[in-house]
Amino acid sequence: MGQKYKTQIRIHFRDADPAQIMYFGNLPSLAHDIFEEFIVATGYTWKEWFKGSTEMIPIRHLEVDYLAPFIPGETYEVEAHVENLGSTSFKMKYRFFKNELTCANLTMVHAVLDTKTKQKKELPETMRTRLERYAQ
């Protein structure tokens, strides 16, 4: 079993809806912010990943289960790992929790595409090796 990437987030006032809970549409953005930290933890620089030369890694599927509200001003723990490594894609799993109470689970599937043709491409060996450390 691989490592889990661990971090914290704080919910800001601007993230709340009129009911004073985080607007549901903000969680995918927070997860992507965490993903940007995660790829650096795997050994990539931000520029290497997001301005890579031969491949692009768009999100092709996103799913969220909300289990408890997120309250502005509160800090939440996040654990992220690679749930599945395919030949042309990989699935990230995020668990958002506070005091061991899971507030949400989010999965994000990233496809690997050739930058020029926009067609599926095999995960580069370096990417596979770096992501495998976080595979569960």
Q: What is the pLDDT of residues 72-112, one digit of tens each?
A: 999 999 999 999 999 999 999 999 999 999 999 999 999 99
pLDDT at position 43 over 80: yes
Number of domains in the chain: 1
User: Which has the closest alpha carbon to 94: 22, 11, 5?
Assistant: 5
Query: What pLDDT is recorded for position 51?
Result: 83
pLDDT band at 53 (very low <50, low <70, confident <90, very high): confident
Q: What is the domain range of residue 76?
A: 5-132
Residue 54, token pair as written in the block: 């031969």
Query: What pLDDT is recorded for position 98?
Result: 98
Do residues 86 and 39 touch, judged by C-beta distance below 8 A?
no
Q: What CATH code is carried by the domain that includes residue 81?
A: 3.10.129.10
